[in-house]
Amino acid sequence: MDSQLLLLNKTNALIKPPQFSFFASSKSRYNPSSTFSLGCKLKRAMCAMKSYRLSELSNAEVESLKARPRIDFSSIFGTVNPIVDDVRQRGDDAVKDYTAKFDKVKLDKIVENVSELPDPELEAAVREAFDVAYDNIYAFHLAQRSDEKSIENMKGVRCKRVARSIGSVGLYVPGGTAVLPSTALMLAIPAQIAGCKTVVLATPPSQDGSICKEVLYCAKKAGVTHILKAGGAQAISAMAWGTDSCPKVEKIFGPGNQYVTAAKMILQNSEAMISIDMPAGPSEVLVIADRYASPVHIAADLLSQAEHGPDSQVVLVVAGDGVDMKTIEEEISKQCQSLPRGEYASKALSHSFTVFARDMVEALSFSNLYAPEHLIINVKDAEKWESFIENAGSVFLGPWTPESVGDYASGTNHVLPTYGYARMYGGVSLDSFQKYMTVQSLTEEGLRMLGPYVATMAEVEGLDAHKRAVTLRLQDIEAKQVSNMT
């Protein structure tokens, strides 16, 4: 039995409305004729979500409910570490071998100079869609530029902070079960605005060894300099260590599966001396809906995240009374069956859940604890609740703001913290591709005013060389003043 359900048994907090097949009983098991099957029986996968009432849960049970499934990285590290080491030792040859092994593609050349590649041919409608997305993403990230900040703390003591781009960055664009050219835009555009000189985009090759034409179009438009035709841990390793054909990068960005994530974690703590954007996990959405929300839209929003993969995290929070759960159930069933990726969606829903909140305050309190990657607020007067939101990667307010717009073209970035990391991380932004330096400059008068305080503090800490670096200068200033007086 599910560990969360075991916790709930002692309080009988599991909700089991007999009239709704949307909810799975703690004792139910998959049965083609079960009333708890939504009818989305793709390869015998069950579309069902457990349900709980927040007011009946203890703090410990709520903590358990917000926890994500644990990933056993110990076994994954055992697989990834040899790949990381092999790519370090053998470079291009290792990447070619792993690409042949995992992607079944034999490559003569793993890196392409983007400037040397011909422009890909796209249908006019597809090109226009990516152009609109590019313009919106560019505008939003350009607006994130901040003016140089400079202040004079004391007379003659000036401090400022200046931004500098990271010189070389690696961008990972997954292939796997779906090609994601939108991710190329989300990662390359802020790098372009920041002024990163070397931008390496890694993406698995097609079966003929070519680069996905939509990814190539986005890469060329957004200023990518090199494309590494590889995926998985081998691609991350090649960018981190550098190879004969792949430039070494200083920071690696982008979502990926557990092997990609493991490689990023290993390499950021290695001699490769790289940093990464953020920890990554399966895609997530938390939808808060009230009685004014369309059941059709609620179902579509839940499924839009569930279709990413069977490990996607999908949560529905029902705020208040009067929500038509029966219609939501029917819509999920109908829409799930018609999706080409319905099997993924059904598996994701089978380990997802619904919670009932008494009101929006309780709903948002749970959401802030859960800290979702995507948070949809589909309630009446959604905008008034924005100030109550503390933890979320990206927020979608109101009935006409599906999560899909942020995934593609509203302008915000879709590379976001998952697994609850929205409590301490933000999504990718222009700042992600920059680092900030502080600069200070003192005049003689400034050091004369500030120096004695610094010397006193250095003496307290027992750092005499620090003290002397100040006092020797103060002596020079004093001697100069005496000389000028004579």
Q: Do the Cβ atoms of 188 and 465 come closer than 8 Å?
A: no
**Cα–Cα distance list, 421 to 139, 180, 323, 345, 416 (Å):** 27, 23, 30, 23, 9
Question: Within this chain, do residues 182 and 77 fall inside the same structural domain, yes or no?
Answer: yes
> Tokens in use for 55?
């007011």
Q: Is 278's pLDDT higher than 60?
A: yes
pLDDT value at residue 47: 53
Active-site residue 373, yes or no?
yes
Average pLDDT for residues 322-331, to the nearest whole number? Answer: 94
389 falls within a domain: yes
Question: Within this chain, do residues 232 and 303 fall inside the same structural domain, yes or no?
Answer: no
Question: Within this chain, do residues 270 and 174 fall inside the same structural domain, yes or no?
Answer: yes
427 falls within a domain: no
Q: Is 28's pLDDT higher than 70?
A: no
177-183 own/partner pairs: CB under 8 Å, 24+ apart: 177/309, 177/341, 177/344, 178/308, 178/341, 179/212, 179/214, 179/215, 180/215, 181/130, 181/212, 181/214, 181/215, 181/217, 181/218, 182/133, 182/218, 182/407, 182/408, 182/414, 183/254, 183/255, 183/414, 183/415
pLDDT value at residue 155: 98
Average pLDDT for residues 230-243, to the nearest whole number? Answer: 99
Q: Is 195's pLDDT higher than 60?
A: yes
Q: Is 269's pLDDT higher than 80?
A: yes
Least confident of 150-154, 343-347, 395-399: 343-347
416 falls within a domain: no
436 falls within a domain: no
Distance, in Å, from the CA atom of 109 to the CA atom of 68, rounded to the nearest integer, reads: 40
Average pLDDT for residues 128-157, to the nearest whole number? Answer: 97
Residue 279 binned pLDDT confidence (cut-offs 50, 70, 90): confident
Question: Within this chain, do residues 245 and 309 fall inside the same structural domain, yes or no?
Answer: no
Question: Within this chain, do residues 43 and 66 fall inside the same structural domain, yes or no?
Answer: yes
Residue 292 binned pLDDT confidence (cut-offs 50, 70, 90): very high
Question: Within this chain, do residues 50 and 97 fall inside the same structural domain, yes or no?
Answer: no
Mean pLDDT of the chain: 90
204 falls within a domain: yes
Q: Is 190's pLDDT higher than 90?
A: yes
433 falls within a domain: no
Q: Which of 226, 297, 308, 374 is catalytic?
A: 374
Residue 137 binned pLDDT confidence (cut-offs 50, 70, 90): very high
Residue 42 or 198, more confident: 198
Q: Which of 61, 214, 373, 403 is catalytic?
A: 373
What's 82's domain CATH number? 3.40.50.1980
Question: Within this chain, do residues 172 and 187 fall inside the same structural domain, yes or no?
Answer: yes
Least confident of 59-73, 132-146, 287-301, 412-426: 59-73
pLDDT value at residue 431: 98
Residue 153 or 177, more confident: 153
Question: Within this chain, do residues 50 and 114 fall inside the same structural domain, yes or no?
Answer: no
Question: Within this chain, do residues 88 and 155 fall inside the same structural domain, yes or no?
Answer: yes
pLDDT value at residue 253: 98
Question: Within this chain, do residues 145 and 161 fall inside the same structural domain, yes or no?
Answer: yes
Q: Is 81's pLDDT higher than 50?
A: yes
Q: Is 252's pLDDT higher than 70?
A: yes
Cβ-based burial of 151 (10 A; exposed 0-12, middle 13-18, buried ≥19): exposed
Among 242, 263, 280, identify where a domain stops: 280
Residue 45 binned pLDDT confidence (cut-offs 50, 70, 90): very low
313-319 and 251-253 strand pairing: unpaired
Question: Within this chain, do residues 358 and 477 fall inside the same structural domain, yes or no?
Answer: no
Percent of all residues in the chain with a pLDDT value above 90, rounded to a whole number? 83
pLDDT value at residue 406: 98
Among 251, 280, 309, identify where a domain stops: 280
pLDDT value at residue 115: 97
351 falls within a domain: yes
Question: Within this chain, do residues 86 and 53 fall inside the same structural domain, yes or no?
Answer: no
Q: Do the Cβ atoms of 137 and 189 come closer than 8 Å?
A: yes
- pTM higher than 0.85, yes or no? yes
Q: Angle at the Cα of 476 (from 474 to 478), degrees rounded to 5?
A: 70
Total domains in the chain come to: 3
Residue 127 or 30, more confident: 127
pLDDT value at residue 73: 85
pLDDT value at residue 48: 64
Q: Do the Cβ atoms of 141 and 413 come closer than 8 Å?
A: yes
Active-site residue 226, yes or no?
no
Q: Is 242's pLDDT higher than 50?
A: yes
HSE on the CB side for 220, CA within 13 Å?
20
pLDDT value at residue 17: 31
Q: Which domain range does residue 477 map to?
A: 443-485
Among 258, 280, 302, identify where a domain stops: 280
